[in-house]
Amino acid sequence: MSITDSHSRLDDDPAFALHQGGKLHVEPSVEVTDHEGLALAYTPGVARVCTAIADTPELVNTYTWKSSVVAVVTDGSAVLGLGDIGPEASLPVMEGKALLFRQFAGVDAVPIALSCDGVDDIVETVARMAPSFGGINLEDIAAPRCFEIERRLRERLDIPVFHDDQHGTAIVTVAALRNAARLTGRTLADLRVVVSGAGAAGVAVTKMLVDGGIGDIAVADSKGVIYSGREGLTPVKEELAAISNRAGLQGSIETALEGADVFIGLSAGEVPESVVATMAPQATVFAMANPNPEVHPEVARRHASVVATGRSDFPNQINNVLAFPGVFRGALDARATDVTEAMKLAAADAIADLVGDDLSADYIIPSTFDERVVPAVAAAVAEQARSDGVARS
């Protein structure tokens, strides 16, 4: 096929038509229409501002865009469900993330796709460009390197560093599960949960549910349930084993799901209907793999009281866009130096509380277009940042 024929074929696809030329551009926030304005916006007026910032560095937050702009950073190693497709191919996703920051939270974001060979290169590169930004949103970086990158950047930088694949997913999942438990007359402490997948999302969801007071939670990877003493565990999975699976379950995920209250799917595996049927009465199924859930929602509903997915064409979509815009809006408003575990739980509570008395099996989580979400999450995160002592305003 010729290049011309290939372009013609792509032009027929509305997704390509929307992406042509990219999804972003930069616009000035002030107008320069004459010599006087130019002298203020650039030389010589700009020199007075530079000098003031050099004398008092915190003024950078007042007199530049730093306090309202986020870097959306990836190495292209774990993009959506596409895998390691490289930095160039990841750029449409990073542009999309920046678009959502602006549309939902009024936060400016810059997509940055890095060509880096490893953890050290990514950490050093992001740290060197951090003075230009008020926050760092790590995106689509493969596990286990994503854990180390986030940890080291949080230790090194005094601005929020947030790996959305981990914490955005965890925040929305916890919010949805709180309401699923409420719908069935229970609390998180009453539930036994099984998580499929020990990647970035699975680890973060498990840790956040433990912090939120879950009854018990077990995690399964491709080799079965993770437990203390299992051979071949990575350091991340050893840490996971130490905080989960108090029941000491071993063996397959199918065995673990027998009598379980909740299934949370964060992997590409499949769960047969016969296994879902062995779960406890009033079970909850979050089948969040995209585009194909671990169990089809219509099948899950034959046995579960509450079903959620990651897809927009079924009720109860668990979507990170409910979390990250408001989390960063709140962190930036408070000029926070970090995003603490308590701030994440505050975000989850704020999302869950918006459902209120309208709670039903098909409505345990707000819509991604619910205009109440970002203000509620931002306010909760900013307040918690001040309570945690990580706010600077």
Q: Specify binding-site residues for (S)-malate.
A: 290, 319
The count of C-alpha atoms lying within 13 angstroms of the C-alpha of 114, restricted to the half-sphere facing its C-beta, is 25
User: CA-to-CA distance for 179 and 183, rounded, in angstroms?
Assistant: 6
Q: Per the annotation, where are the binding residues for a divalent metal cation?
A: 139-140, 165
> What's the gap between Cα 40 and its chain centre?
40
Going by C-alpha positions, the residue among 159, 172, 213, 222 that lies closest to residue 190 is: 213
Write out 238-255 in H/E/C secondary structure: HHHHHHCCCCCCCCCHHH
Which helix or strand (DSSP H or E) is residue 165 part of?
Answer: helix 164-183
Residue 330 in tokens: 């709140």
Residues with a catalytic annotation lie at 42, 97
SS3 assignment, position 208: helix
String of b and e for 343-357 (b: at least 16 CB within 10 Å)? Answer: bbbbbbbbbbebbee
Q: Per the annotation, where are the binding residues?
A: 139-140, 165, 290, 319
SS3 assignment, position 317: strand
